[in-house]
Amino acid sequence: MSNSENKVLLADGAKSDDEISLFDLVAFVRRHRFALLGGAVIGGALGVAIAFAMPAQWEAVALLRVAQLGGSALVEPPPRVVERVMQKSFGDDAQRRIGVSPDESLPKASLLRNNLKVKVEKSDLVSVRVRGASPDEAARFADAVIAELASVHGKMAEPTLQRWRSEIEDIDMELKRGSREIERLRDSLEKQSRVTQPASIFQAVLASNILLSREIELGTLRERKRALQEQLSPERTFPTASLGRTEVSTRPVFPSKPFFAVSGLAMGLLIGVLLSALKPARA
């Protein structure tokens, strides 16, 4: 027999094996259809029953803007914000804000803490996702997370803000002293302008130079004050806060009844297949 004939016979044999396997599969399904169908129905029903028995969870989503100082520097980089929020101590403090004990052995504390998710979004925004046993609980915990973060960032920003405010106060005091000094110099120049003696002329020139120098200094101080006030403006310096309102899912996000039904159906069908395949071995 030639090699080409051998190849043809092998191909026909493989094709025959495939047809037999498919025939066996169809026969298996027909022979055990009631067991398979029953397992799928029971599994699907059991999955739906479990879904109804499990406590429902709602999800709240908030988008927050990290505090900024002077229009150029964030109080804390967004990736570090994510790390901070995911720390256990931070989550405990946020839970205390809504009156929930941080003891993770309690179901409510475990639900809030284990379902807290933080992610850096575009434009240095940070999204916060939390779950609760009710829409109100989920929203309150999301707001508590933002409030706790705003408190931490407020403490971090306070030294810089206090330094800027103190500098403005010092500038105001210096401007008042300088204004009084300029008034005195102007009065002195006005009096000396009426005297034609050489000594008086020399004093007038000296006073004019001092007056000009002082006015330049006060002008520089006013520019610095305007710059500081611009840095402290709400457009350039603002606290950590949510961008818009917290959105809460209208329906529970867990448990998903369709998912549990399909999962239960698949599991029941698999068990039905296994039990049906073991029947001939028992016989």
| C-alpha–C-alpha distance, residues 112 and 245, integer Å | 20
Q: Tell me how far CA of residue 46 lies from CA of 133, 201, 217, in angstroms.
A: 23, 107, 83
What CA–CA distances, in Å, run from 240 to 50, 80, 128, 172, 245? 41, 14, 13, 29, 14
At 167-191, the pLDDT tens digits run 999 999 999 998 888 888 887 777 6
Question: CA distances (Å), 19 to each of 11, 38, 160, in order?
Answer: 12, 28, 80
CATH topology of domain 58-254: Alpha-Beta Plaits (3.30.70)
pLDDT at site 103: 84
Residue with the two structure tokens 């105001």: 172
How far apart (Å, rounded) are the C-alpha atoms in residues 101 and 34?
52
Sorting pLDDT into bands at 50, 70 and 90, what band is 16?
very low
pLDDT (tens digit per residue) in 92-133 = 999 999 988 888 778 778 888 888 999 998 878 999 999 998
Is the pLDDT assigned to residue 224 strictly greater than 90? yes
Domain boundaries along the sequence of the chain: 3-53+259-282, 58-254
Point out which residues pair with 61 in neighbouring strands: 129, 247
